[in-house]
A and B are shown apart, each in its own frame.
Chain A
Amino acid sequence: MHEITLTQILFVSTALFFIGMYGLFTRRNLITMLMSIELMLNSVNINFVAFNKYLFPEKLDGLFFTLFIITIAAAEAAVAIAIIINLYRSHNSIDVDDAAEMKY
């Protein structure tokens, strides 16, 4: 084996992204779907940092994008959990199949 390069890190983040996508497709529970989305956001963060470190080490823009993504992911998770709690209060369930009023 040889030195770890950008390609190996991209493989890891790709696998993590598609693991998150699999979870988003199979889960029917809102909290677990939110967890899958967190995994996908994290894989994007790994990509930003790796590209910044290995291709453009003289600038730090990738790190700034990662910081902004982490901030917005935190805001998104907080709002999503507020919505989930409100949904549980009105429907007594957080299954996506039970909240079908606006379907069709």
Chain B
Amino acid sequence: MNISAIIFYAISALILGAGILAVTSVKIFRAAIWLLFSLVGIAALYFWMQVEFIAAIQIVVYVGGIVVLIIFSIFLTQHSGKGMPNPTKSKMIFSALAALFGTALTYNLICNYAGFTMNTAKPFNTSMNEIGTQMLSITNYGYILPFEVVSMLLLAAMVGCIVIAMRPTPSTIVTKLPNESIILTNKD
């Protein structure tokens, strides 16, 4: 058992242990912190696979962005000291059975599938230079169009968030009253 395998099993134990605690913890704030550990473990797994760029993106976006957003929303909507009510016993049992069955089925499929032909002859070059050149290539098989579309999606999501989460001002509430709207239409 070489050192790389030991590191892999340690990272996997961190990911899965923190993940289990994140979905079973009774206090919601602790669940968010366990989720953070699980995401850090996934970033470590990317480092282990030597894709440093994805690992950096994982830390910046997930750990720095999404978990902080989740913690903010916990503070805005929950009494974070109080525990959540436990799910009913039957629901827990059937969910665990479904998850275990799915895991067993997928493990079985992976174990019996021998079609993975490891391709270790060619080097796996993931320098930022290579990623940028291949992703934004405009010749063939480039991803420049999805790149632009996803930037528009981010803009739309940002505007949509502001509109959805905006507190309705008193003036807009007044214009929604039926009498007012009739008056307004008469003026028009």
Q: Which of B23, B46, B103, B153 contacts A27 (CB 8 A)?
A: B23
Q: Which of B78, B92, B94, B116 contacts A54 (CB 8 A)?
A: B116
Known contacts: A18-B99, A29-B28, A54-B119. The answer to whether A63 contacts B54 by CB under 8 A is yes
* A71 and B42 within 8 A (CB): no
* A42 and B119 within 8 A (CB): no
* B8 and A7 within 8 A (CB): no
* A26 and B23 within 8 A (CB): yes
* A34 and B87 within 8 A (CB): no
Tell me, in angstroms, the Cα distance from A38 to B96 when the chains sit together: 19
Which residue, of A1, A34, A38, has the highest number of chain B Cβ atoms within 10 A? A38
The interface residues of chain B, by DSSP majority, are classed as: helix
B134-168 interface bits toward A, Cβ cutoff 8 Å, 1 = contact, 0 = none: 11000001010010001001100110111011010
Which residue, of A29, A73, A74, A82, has the highest number of chain B Cβ atoms within 10 A? A82
Which residue, of B4, B32, B54, B87, has the highest number of chain A Cβ atoms within 10 A? B54
Of residues 46 through 103 on chain B, the ones whose CB sits less than 8 Å from some CB of chain A are 46, 49-51, 53-54, 57-58, 61-62, 65-66, 69-70, 72-74, 76-78, 84-85, 87, 91-92, 94-96, 98-100, 102-103
Of residues 81 through 95 on chain A, the ones whose CB sits less than 8 Å from some CB of chain B are 81-86, 88-89, 94
* A38 and B19 within 8 A (CB): no
Q: Which of A34, A46, A79 contacts B164 (CB 8 A)?
A: A79
Q: Give the size range of B's interface with the partner.
A: 35 or more
* A18 and B102 within 8 A (CB): yes
Q: What is the interface of chain B, defined by CB distance below 8 A to chain A?
A: 1-2, 4-5, 8, 12, 15-16, 19-20, 22-24, 28, 31-32, 35, 38-39, 42, 45-46, 49-51, 53-54, 57-58, 61-62, 65-66, 69-70, 72-74, 76-78, 84-85, 87, 91-92, 94-96, 98-100, 102-103, 106-107, 110-111, 116-120, 122-124, 126, 130-131, 134-135, 141, 143, 146, 150, 153-154, 157-158, 160-162, 164-165, 167
* A32 and B153 within 8 A (CB): no
* A19 and B20 within 8 A (CB): yes
Tell me, in angstroms, the Cα distance from A7 to B99 when the chains sit together: 19
